[in-house]
Structure 1
Amino acid sequence: MSSILTNNSAMVALQTLKSVNNSMTETQSQISTGKRVASAKDNSAVWAISKVMESDVKGFNAISESLSLGESTVAVARNASETVTDLLTQMKGKIISANESNVDRNKIQTDISALTDQIKSVVGAAQFNGLNLLSGTDDVNVLSSLDRANDGSVSSSDITVTRQDMTYDAGVMGTGATLAGNISETLGSNSLAGVAGDEFSNSANTMTIQVAAGTAGSSNTYNLQVAGETVTFTSAASGNTNDSIAAGITAALNAAGIEDITATVATDTITISSLSKFDDVEVNMTTSDAAVTFDVNAGGATAGGAGFSGETLEARASEVAFSATAAVSEGDGYRVSIDGTNYDYVAGKNETFEDVARGLKTAVDGAGLANVTTKVTYDSDNEQWVLQLDNDGADLSLAVDGNAGGTATGGLAGLDDLDVTTDNGAAAALQNIETFIDSSIDAAAAFGSVEGRIETQSEFIGKLTDSLKSGIGSMVDANMEEVSARLQALQVQQQLSVQAMSIANQAPQALLSLFR
């Protein structure tokens, strides 16, 4: 049936042409934009995901800039720390020279002062964009990542850069909770116990050995070992007494010339005196005389023949011991007072009682007290760090204290107080320069470690950003080869659709022939 009112063929051709034109429009849009999903109407789910990922890419670009800034800042601090280490090593060479004889210590001190000023200049200039990681103790956080959880929430991650305070600041003792329980002084046995201020003096420590009982035999050998050196006395063939045995051993000991050791005798009792500052002196006795007994420090007689061993003549120095169990927190300050003058050290972050002991040693040494010398040791028996202080002059008072809540002492505090113009000063400087070198090496190593971490994170962020961009592209970018081929096909379809439309429109014309 033919109709001039309804042309089904034309309608079908028209719909086909519209479909082809729509596809042509879509294809041309993909070609012009390069995107398969250019707006939410193209594919709302894919478009939403891509936009979230695009925002993450912009965030990671900002993080990359943050990491670059942080890496540069840390690199400056690391280079400065390495430079300080080199300068301190040069200073150590000067100090070693000052401990030699026949040198001009004043000229060496001038060189050391110049190196000290140079180190201070390096530390002061070690800043990037106004941030100096060699000054202060506050941590610096470098933004390193954005972490998106499954629920869509976003959190940031940081790389913490711990400052390494390499300043000369003395620190400030706090007024917080008392820390007196973490520090205690033990006066040397030579000290004047009970005297106001707990004075410690320069007198010798002593040990008594009484040749106590029995009848001395003939031609016996007595071997007395003091400070690792053995002296030998052989008794006469006859006429020996406890007094003569004591006198003979005393004479042999004095003749040996053991450093810091002297002996006197009174009847049958030997008194050994030790001026050893920091080292305990062990005393042992062996003998072939089974007839005599020895009474050490009136502590009970030991039979002859067996002798005695393991007796200790304590070091002269007084000791400041630190807790074996307590922790050290930033701002914890500890004080040693010598003759009314305070010497303080305030701990920084992640420090230990070893750092506190060495800091106090540096503070005391820096004062240049003519007759006071110091040494830091570790008491392995009690598992605690100990600061030993020896006084080789007039009696001095000694007291200790501690409080929390202070401002930390700089890592190079006391460096500008090194003085090699005296024997004690040169010896103390040689010990303390090692502490300063260790501090600068630790600082450079810490900065090097975190710089490597920032560099690794920066590389990862770059690769992650590229991966995100690639993922976004795979979701929204158009396949240009496919679109190009499709366009050509659609162009052919469009031409055929137009031709079909023309044919369909011509069909009613055939009806006119029926009316001729």
Structure 2
Amino acid sequence: MASIMTNASALTALQSLNATNKNLETTQSRISTGYRVAEASDNAAYWSIATTMRSDKSSLSVVQDTLGLGASKVDTAYTNINKTIDTVNAIKDKLVAASGASTADKAKIQVEVSALQASLKMTSDGATAAGSNWLSVDTTSGQTAAGTHDDAKIVAAYTRNSAGKVALQTIDVDVQSVKLYEAYASATNTEKGILDGTRLASSGARDNTAVATVGNAAAAATDGYAVSTLTVVGFNDTQIADMINVVDTASKELTDAATKLGAAKVRIDLQKNSTQSLMDSIDRGVGQLVDADMNKESTRLQALQVQQQLGIQALSIANGNSQSILSLFR
């Protein structure tokens, strides 16, 4: 039936052209943005998942920065403890030389010992990184107990469980076991550092019963020495032998402290690599969800452009059909 009121062919052609234009607009948007899911309206589920993953990656990036900062602190403490071990061993060598030496020679040896002791304090005070010093500390305020130091915590991981709950994991460094000097005036010998804590002459261990030994005095169970303050002037060979024992024990504790810091350094390096790998994995996962396949979209664009041209042509032909009705009245 020929009708001038309803052009069914034109309506069909128009619907087809509108569908083609809509698909063309979608394809052009994907090509211009690089995403097939750029907004929630494109695919709500994929957009939501990708947004959460991007948020997690941003948090992991902060964790990566925190690990770098923590690595700087650990490296600084580790390097300075290694220097300290060499200096303490040098003090032990001077004590060995002082054994059996004359009074005049002991005075000369003490000049060298004092210089090494001053170097120890400078090395510890200089072990500051990002405002933190784990070797020369002052827990006058904020300590968990008198003279003790909280563990240093380095944020090392950001995790999300299957329920969507977020948690942070840390690498902890026991500052109490690695510190060399404690500025807290009321700290006991066991609360002080490896170098300034007074140690029993008999065992070499830091002990709260240990008191500073008097030169050439009769031996007592409470006789004690601190690596940072010991002196050979006025002390007999038996007492110097006790000093050697004290310094040797302190050297072993320094080695243990360096081992702990070295282990923390390894953990941080491993976690940095792991975090970077996880960030790369998230990038790949997000890409698989929302990135547009440019090869596919470019091919689709060319096809749609042809369909658009054909649709326009079909609509033009359909609109021309109405003109043919005029010929019936000639």
TM-score between both structures, scaled by the size of structure 2? 0.86
Unaligned runs of 5+ in 1: 174-332, 334-344, 350-354, 375-387, 391-412
Per-residue deviation, residues 146-190 of structure 1 (Å, max 9, x unmatched): 1111111111111111112201658636xxxxxxxxxxxxxxxxx
Cα–Cα, structure 1 residues 170 and 485, in superposed 2: closer, same or farther, change >3 Å? closer
Deviation at 1:469, TM superposition (A): 1.1
1:339: which partner in 2?
A: none
Instruction: Measure the CA separation in 1 of the matches of 2:107 and 2:209.
Output: 21
Would the alpha carbon gap of residues 18 and 70 (structure 1) be closer, same or farther in structure 2, given more than 3 Å must change? same
Q: Residue in 1 aligned with 2:252?
A: 438
| Residue identity in the other structure for 1:367 | T
Q: What is the 5 A alignment of 1:51-130?
A: 51-101=51-101, 104-130=105-131
Find out whether 1:428 has 2:239 as its counterpart. no
Alpha-carbon distance, 1:362 to partner: 9.7
| Cα distance, 1:455 vs structure 2 | 1.2
1:416 maps to a residue whose letter is S
Give 1:18's aligned residue.
18
Deviations 1:433-470 (A, max 9, x none): 10121121111111111111111111111111111111
Which residue matches 1:370?
216
Q: Which of the two has greater strand per residue?
A: 1
Summarize the Cα distance change of 1:170–1:154 in structure 2 as closer, same or farther, 3 Å threshold.
closer
Distance in 2 between residues matched to 1:457 and 1:451, nearest whole Å: 10
Name the SS of the counterpart of 1:2 in structure 2.
coil
176, 179, 202: which is aligned to 1:165?
A: 179
Structure 2 counterpart of 1:416, from 222, 228, 231: 228
Deviations 1:227-279 (A, max 9, x none): xxxxxxxxxxxxxxxxxxxxxxxxxxxxxxxxxxxxxxxxxxxxxxxxxxxxx
Aligned-residue offset at 1:49? 0.6
Change in Cα spacing, 1:25 to 1:489, as seen in structure 2 (3 Å) is same
Distance apart, 1:131 and its partner CA: 0.5
Residue deviations 1:277-321 (CA, integer Å, cap 9, x gap):
xxxxxxxxxxxxxxxxxxxxxxxxxxxxxxxxxxxxxxxxxxxxx
Give the number of the structure whose residues are more often helix, by fraction. Answer: 2
Q: Is the 8 Å Cα contact of residues 136 and 182 (structure 2) preserved in structure 1?
A: no
1:499 aligned residue: 313
CA RMSD of aligned residues (A): 2.3
Change in CA separation of 1:441 and 1:171 when aligned onto 2, cut-off 3 Å: farther
Match of 2:144 in 1: none
Paired residues of 2:190 and 2:208 also in contact (CA < 8 A): no
The structure with the largest alpha-carbon Rg is 1
Which residue of 2 is the match for residue 359 of structure 1?
206
Q: Which amino acid aligns with 1:346?
A: T
State the one-letter code of the partner of 2:108.
K
Match of 1:150 in 2: 162
Asked whether the 8 Å contact 2:181–2:192 carries over to 1, the reply is: no
Work out the CA distance in 2 between the residues paired with 1:146 and 1:363: 46
Note if contact 2:182-2:192 (Cα within 8 Å) is conserved in structure 1.
no
Structure 1 pair 433–362 and aligned structure 2 pair: CA distance change class (3 A): farther
Give yes or no for contact 2:91–2:116 (8 Å, CA) kept in 1. yes
Q: Distance in 1 between matches of 2:81 and 2:219?
A: 30
Mapped pair 1:346 → 2:190: yes
Q: Which of these residues, 138, 150, 154, is aligned with residue 150 of structure 2?
A: 138
**Alignment correspondent of 2:29:** 29
Percent sequence identity over aligned pairs: 36
Counterpart-to-counterpart distance in 2, 1:455 and 1:98 = 44
What count of residue pairs does the alignment treat as equivalent? 305
What is the DSSP-based 3-state SS (H/G/I as helix, E as strand, rest coil) of the residue aligned with 2:219?
Answer: strand
Note if contact 2:117-2:228 (Cα within 8 Å) is conserved in structure 1. yes
Deviating beyond 4 angstroms after TM superposition, the runs of 4 or more aligned structure 1 residues are 100-103, 168-171
Measure, in 2, the Cα distance between the counterparts of 1:487 and 1:170.
74
Structure 1 residue 55 displacement after superposition: 0.7
